[in-house]
C-alpha cells in the first residue's frame, strides 16, 4: 500500500474538454467528501499552470447546489491545460505538494494526461515524495487504449449523429441551391468520432453517404466520384470527414507544414472540409457547403448521452475508491460486460501502458470498399449514444 505524505487531494483537468468532464470532477469530489478519508480537496486552476503558480481552489468551499450545477456544465470547471510536464517543473511541483500536504493527485484527461500522470508519479518516487497518482479518463476522440470506450465520446458522437441528420435533411431540402454538405469533425489520429455519423443513416438515401477516416487513405478522385453518384441518385450528398483524413500525399487539402504544433508535439493542419467542398463545387457546378462544428461538438450539453454522463461520474468515484484502497499509477477504465444487453463496469490499466498511445479503429469496423463503417461498429456505438435518435419523416 502506498503511504502518502499527506491526506489532502489535488484534482486537475487536462486536455480538450468533453461534455461530461465535469461529471467526472463531480464524481471525484463527491466520493472524496463521502469517504471522509481526506482533509482538504484542492482543484488546480488551469491544470499544470495552476500547480506551478500555486493557484489552488478549495473545493470544499463550493456549496452543494453549485456542485449539482457544475456536474451539468460544459467545458472544464477548473480550467484545462495542454502544457507538458518539463524536467525543470518537478522541483517546483514537489515543493507545492509539500507545502499543501498533498498526497493524492487525480488527473482527469486523455492519453497525453496519462503520460503526464506516469511522469509525475515517477518523478515523485525519484524525489522520495510519497504520492498517489490516479487518472480519470476523458476524450471525445475515444482513442484511449486498454478500455472499451472513453467518457466524453458517447455525448460527442450523439452530437455528430444528430448534426449529420440535420445537415442531411437541409441539403436534401435545398436541392439545386445547395445540395452538397461536407462536415469536418475532430479526431486527430483516429476516426471514432467521424464514424459516429453513420448512426444518422436510417435508410439508404439518408446522410452520410461517405465517411472519411484517418485509418483509411482517401483517394480524392474516388471521393468526388462517390459524391457525384450520391448527388445523381438522391439529389443531394453529405460527407463526414475526420479533420486528419489522409490522402496519398498527407492530410487532404492541408499544407505540408502545420500551422501549429502543441506542447505534446501534435501538429495541426488545415483540414479537408473546405478544400473538398471547393473541389466538389468545381466538379458538379453546384454550391457545396463546408461545416466545421469545432468546439461545439464537445460542449453541446443538449446532446449529452445519459450513459456517458453516468459512466463519467462513476469513473471519478472509482478513482477515489482505488486511491483509498492503496492503488496508484493507474487509469480507471470502462469495460463492456459480455452479453446481449449493454452493461459497463470499471477497471484499471497501468498509466505506463496508456500514456502517449492511440487506439485506432480496428479493421472489422471499417467498410473500406464503400468509404463507410460496418454494422459491427454500429452495434458497438449505439449503446453509447444514450436514448434512441429521433426518427424523421419524409414526403414520398
Q: What is the mean pLDDT of residues 197-210?
A: 97
Once rounded to an integer, what is the mean pLDDT over residues 386-392?
A: 96
For residues 197 and 90, the model is more confident at 197
Q: Locate 49 and state its grid cell.
A: 499552470
- Report which of residues 220 and 27 the model is more confident about: 27
Catalytic residue (one of 141, 143, 206, 308): 141
How large is the average pLDDT for residues 138-145?
97
95 is catalytic: no
What pLDDT, in 10s, does the model give residues 44-102?
999 999 999 999 999 999 999 999 999 999 999 999 988 888 889 989 999 999 999 99
Burial of 111 (0-12, 13-18, 19+ CB in 10 A): buried
Instruction: Tell whether the model's pLDDT for residue 240 goes beyond 70.
Output: yes
Please, what is the average pLDDT of the chain? Answer: 93
Burial of 341 (0-12, 13-18, 19+ CB in 10 A): exposed
When pLDDT is averaged across residues 318-339 and rounded to a whole number, the result is 97
Using pLDDT thresholds of 50, 70 and 90, give the confidence band for residue 4: very low
pLDDT digit string, tens, across residues 371-385: 999 999 999 999 999
Mean pLDDT of 165-192: 94
Q: Give CA separation, 43 vs 9, 24, 48, 377, in Å.
A: 8, 13, 11, 38
DSSP letter, residue 140: T
The pairing of beta strand 344-350 with beta strand 330-336:
antiparallel
* Average pLDDT of the segment spanning 314-339: 97
What does the pLDDT read at residue 3? Answer: 39
Q: Can you tell me the distance from the alpha carbon of 343 to that of 340, in angstroms, rounded to the nearest whole number?
A: 9
Is pLDDT larger for residue 158 or for residue 262? 158
* CA–CA distance, 335 with 324 (Å, rounded to integer): 21
pLDDT at residue 169 greater than cutoff 50: yes
pLDDT tens digits, residue range 245-285? 888 777 777 555 655 465 655 555 567 888 999 999 999 99
pLDDT of residue 306 exceeding 50:
yes
What is the model's pLDDT at position 21? 98
- pLDDT tens digit sequence for 104-128: 999 999 988 899 899 989 999 999 9
pLDDT grade for 1, boundaries at 50, 70 and 90: very low
pLDDT higher than threshold 70 for residue 195: yes
Confidence of residue 183 (pLDDT cuts 50, 70, 90): very high
State the pairing for strand pair 210-212/366-367.
unpaired
* Domains of the chain, CATH where assigned: 8-151+303-353 (3.40.50.450), 154-301+359-385 (3.40.50.460)
The pLDDT score that the predictor gives to residue 241 is 94
Residue 393's pLDDT band (cuts 50, 70, 90): very high
pLDDT at 269: 54
Amino acid at each position: 500500500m502506498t503511504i502518502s505524505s499527506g491526506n489532502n487531494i489535488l484534482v486537475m483537468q487536462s486536455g480538450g474538454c468533453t461534455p461530461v468532464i465535469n461529471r467526472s470532477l463531480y464524481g471525484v469530489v463527491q466520493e472524496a467528501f463521502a469517504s471522509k478519508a481526506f482533509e482538504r480537496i484542492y482543484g488546480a486552476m488551469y491544470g499544470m499552470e495552476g500547480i506551478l503558480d500555486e493557484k489552488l481552489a478549495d473545493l470544499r468551499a463550493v456549496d452543494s447546489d453549485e456542485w449539482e450545477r457544475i456536474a451539468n456544465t460544459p467545458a472544464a470547471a477548473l480550467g484545462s491545460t495542454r502544457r507538458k510536464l518539463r524536467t525543470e517543473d518537478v522541483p517546483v511541483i514537489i515543493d507545492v505538494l509539500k507545502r499543501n500536504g498533498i498526497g493524492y493527485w487525480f488527473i482527469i484527461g486523455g492519453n497525453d494526461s496519462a503520460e503526464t500522470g506516469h511522469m509525475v508519479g515517477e518523478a515523485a518516487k525519484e524525489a522520495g515524495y510519497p504520492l498517489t497518482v490516479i487518472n480519470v479518463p476523458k476524450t471525445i476522440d475515444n482513442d484511449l487504449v486498454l478500455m472499451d470506450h472513453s467518457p466524453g465520446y458517447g455525448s460527442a458522437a450523439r452530437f455528430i449523429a444528430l448534426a449529420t441528420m440535420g445537415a442531411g435533411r437541409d441539403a436534401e431540402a435545398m436541392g439545386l441551391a445547395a445540395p452538397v454538405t461536407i462536415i469536418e469533425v475532430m479526431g486527430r489520429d483516429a476516426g471514432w468520432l467521424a464514424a459516429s455519423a453513420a448512426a444518422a443513416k436510417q435508410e439508404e438515401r439518408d446522410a452520410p453517404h461517405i465517411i472519411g477516416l484517418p485509418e483509411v487513405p482517401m483517394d480524392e478522385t474516388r471521393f468526388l466520384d462517390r459524391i457525384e453518384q450520391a448527388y445523381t441518385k438522391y439529389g443531394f450528398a453529405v460527407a463526414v470527414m475526420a479533420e486528419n483524413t489522409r490522402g496519398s500525399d498527407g492530410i487532404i487539402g492541408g499544407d505540408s507544414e502545420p500551422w501549429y504544433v502543441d506542447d505534446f508535439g501534435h501538429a495541426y493542419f488545415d483540414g479537408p472540409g473546405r478544400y473538398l467542398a471547393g473541389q466538389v463545387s468545381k466538379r458538379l457546378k453546384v454550391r457545396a457547403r463546408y461545416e466545421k462544428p469545432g468546439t461545439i461538438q464537445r460542449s453541446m450539453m443538449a446532446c449529452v448521452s445519459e450513459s456517458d454522463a453516468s459512466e463519467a461520474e462513476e469513473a471519478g468515484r472509482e478513482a477515489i475508491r482505488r486511491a483509498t484502497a492503496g492503488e496508484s499509477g493507474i487509469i480507471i477504465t470502462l469495460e463492456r460486460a459480455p452479453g446481449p444487453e449493454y452493461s459497463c463496469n470499471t477497471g484499471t490499466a497501468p498509466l505506463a501502458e496508456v500514456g502517449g498511445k492511440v487506439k485506432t479503429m480496428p479493421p472489422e469496423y471499417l467498410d473500406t470498399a464503400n468509404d463507410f463503417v460496418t454494422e459491427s461498429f454500429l452495434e458497438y456505438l449505439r449503446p453509447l449514444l444514450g436514448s434512441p435518435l429521433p426518427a424523421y419523416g419524409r414526403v414520398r
